[in-house]
Amino acid sequence: MAEIGKDRLVELSDAKLRDAKLLLNSGGEGNAYYLAGYAVELMLKAIIATQFKSDTIPDRELARNLFVHNIEKLAILAKLQGELKSRADLDPDFYAYWEMVLSWNEQSRYASATLEEARTLIEAIDNQPNGVLSWLRSKL
């Protein structure tokens, strides 16, 4: 991944979700599923980008582990574990949505998601006010 700023990661996240919705509505549910999950990955990476300081060498572990396609690991790198647990404890809908998002992984791009699976994941990500992406956006 080339150097990329937080704002661009947010733009890409929004674009991936927008494209996922278009694909969902035109029979491309497998790719819709993959792109929707990728939107969450990019938003988590935008949150992580806020940890980098100008004129400072980043922590080696953080820099090395950033290049993964694993939502759970990225949430840990974004230092969201405590807030995720608190939100999930207070909001069962959010907890269910987060669990759905955790089912996404890099191998999803090779899978054939059903229309229902893609629709459910996009709902988990995009629901207002309980969706995962709006909550992550609040952490920027």
Q: What is the pLDDT of residues 89-108, one digit of tens each?
A: 999 999 999 999 999 998 88
- Work out the pLDDT band at 26, boundaries 50, 70, 90: very high
Q: What is the pLDDT of residue 111?
A: 82
What is the extent of the structural domain holding 44? Answer: 6-137
Distance CA 136, CA 75 (A): 10
Q: What is the pLDDT of residue 106?
A: 86
* Any domain includes 120: yes
Distance CA 44, CA 77 (A): 9
Provide the CATH number for the domain around residue 48.
1.20.120
Angle between helix 29-49 and 115-126 (nearest 10) = 30
Residue 59 is classified by DSSP as P
Domain count for the chain: 1
pTM of model > 0.85: yes
* Any domain includes 81: yes
- What's the whole-number mean pLDDT along residues 1-17? 92
Q: What is the pLDDT of residues 28-82, one digit of tens each?
A: 999 999 999 999 999 999 999 998 888 888 888 887 888 899 999 999 999 999 9
* Any domain includes 1: no
Structure tokens at 90: 């207070």
Q: What is the pLDDT of residue 61?
A: 80
pLDDT at 1 over 60: no
